[in-house]
Amino acid sequence: MKFFLIVFFVSNILYGADAAKVVKLDERFAESKNCKACHMQLVKDWEESWHSNSHFDKDEYFRKSIKYYSRKTRKSLNGVKVECATCHNPRISVTSTDINYEIEAVLGLDKGSKVNKALKDDALHEGINCVVCHNIEKIHSDRDETYRGINRVTWTKSGLMSGPYDDAKSPYHSVEYRDFMGKNSNQLCFVCHANMSSVQGVMFTNMEEEFKSDGKQCVDCHMGPKRLGVASTLKIDDGKAKKRMIRKHGFKGAHDEEMIKNSLKLSAWQKGKDVVIMLKNPQPHNIPSGYGSREILIELDYTNGTETIKNEAISLTTYYKDRRGKATIAHLAKTMSKDMSIPARGKKVIKVKKAGGATSVRISVYYKLVNDEVHKLLKLKEKQWSKKMLITAKTLKLK
């Protein structure tokens, strides 16, 4: 086997082309520290965002998913890291690995390779940083749906920042207005937040398809409303910083208890021997959405006036099975269970049998980032992954 691999490897060096494309990023712009002098507040906002945590060293769930995926597909760990970097780390200097690299990795000959060097780059640790979003020259919406992240964009020439203003001037970098930074910014988000598919071609989330807007854009909720401030603290306007309408760069989402709170509306009533629970979703995308295996947990605590007589929990989540029919993560799914999420600007009604003798029931609705099945598969340790975040709760008197 090894002999065969070596022959294959040598012949590939001789005849195979290196698929890795190198795109160089100027050091003056590569990291957010280069922007601090003039955009301090925006950098601080962004540092608290999950975009800045999208590198595998900073996100336990992502890191362990990569390991799991590598083990199950027998693709090298670094090969998987490069594959996932398409959206999680799009400024990586190699965009794909090929069979040559896989063979090098098996033989332990990959130490000094371009791929390994690319993965060690400091700027990559910043995940989705300034020069991911603001260095997009063009979004290729005409490309096949499955081309996302790095494969859906062209980068600007080094030092050119695309932004929401058409009259900005900066001594540090050149600037240009882009529609996808202004009136059409959903397009920017859909570069990555759409069409997430497994290795088997199962599309497990598509925020673009489920999106039902009432005119609001993603940035209205995830960067907050436009408010008066300064885009840059540099004194450019008659010795003063220019006043501008700006947004926060926090991109708060499912990891944030404040965002989760009240994101669904709960109503409940008794109908004969049943308790009917209705969850309405006023948001323009499903809840949960985004990454697979998120969960909504509805807990019912029945009392008879003095003590708890019964607890019950209903889970709304999606489960994934691999080629052999075994439980797996979304990215390896061959099949998935019914989508249990509450549809965008829609509702879900659930009926349960009332506990006998109960005079009231406390209904609490929680959000969890990972359901128990995947939590166990990946052996996640950090508290955040098992934490129940309260969405809403209410008490219903029973007859």
Residues 107-166 that bind ligand HEC (CB under 6 A): 128-134, 148-149, 161, 163-165
Cβ-based nearer residue to ligand HEC, 8 or 50: 50
Site for ligand HEC in 323-342 (CB under 6 A): 331
Cβ-based nearer residue to ligand HEC, 117 or 216: 216
- Give which of 48, 57, 61, 37 is closest to 120, Cα–Cα: 57
Q: Which residue has the tokens 């996932």?
A: 84
Q: Which stretch binds ligand HEC (CB under 6 A): 10-18, 54-62, 103-111, 344-352?
A: 54-62
336 vs 319: CA distance, rounded Å? 6
Residues 192-231: x where in contact with ligand HEC by CB under 6 A, - otherwise, as a string: xx--x----------x---x----x-xxxxxx-------x
Among 97, 186, 206, 318, binds ligand HEC (CB under 6 A): 186
Cβ-based nearer residue to ligand HEC, 32 or 303: 32
Q: Does 317 bind ligand HEC (CB under 6 A)?
A: no
Minimal distance, residue 293 CB to ligand HEC, in Å: 8
If phi over 0 gives left and psi between -120 and 50 gives alpha, with beta otherwise, what is residue 56?
Answer: alpha
**How many other CB atoms sit within 10 Å of the CB of residue 365?**
23
- Give which of 152, 86, 82 is closest to 118, Cα–Cα: 82
Q: Does 51 bind ligand HEC (CB under 6 A)?
A: yes
Six-digit token string for 386? 């098992």
Q: Which stretch binds ligand HEC (CB under 6 A): 56-64, 272-280, 318-326, 345-353?
A: 56-64
Minimal distance, residue 393 CB to ligand HEC, in Å: 16
| Phi, psi values for residue 72, rounded to 5° | -75, -30
Q: Which stretch binds ligand HEC (CB under 6 A): 78-86, 114-122, 299-307, 315-323?
A: 78-86
Instruction: Provide DSSP, 110-148.
Output: -TT-HHHHHHH-GGGGG-S-HHHHTTEEEE-TTS-TT--
Site for ligand HEC in 274-313 (CB under 6 A): 283-285, 287-291, 294
Instruction: Evaluate whether 399 touches 270 at the Cβ level (below 8 Å).
Output: yes
343 vs 202: CA distance, rounded Å? 19
Among 76, 78, 206, 263, binds ligand HEC (CB under 6 A): 263
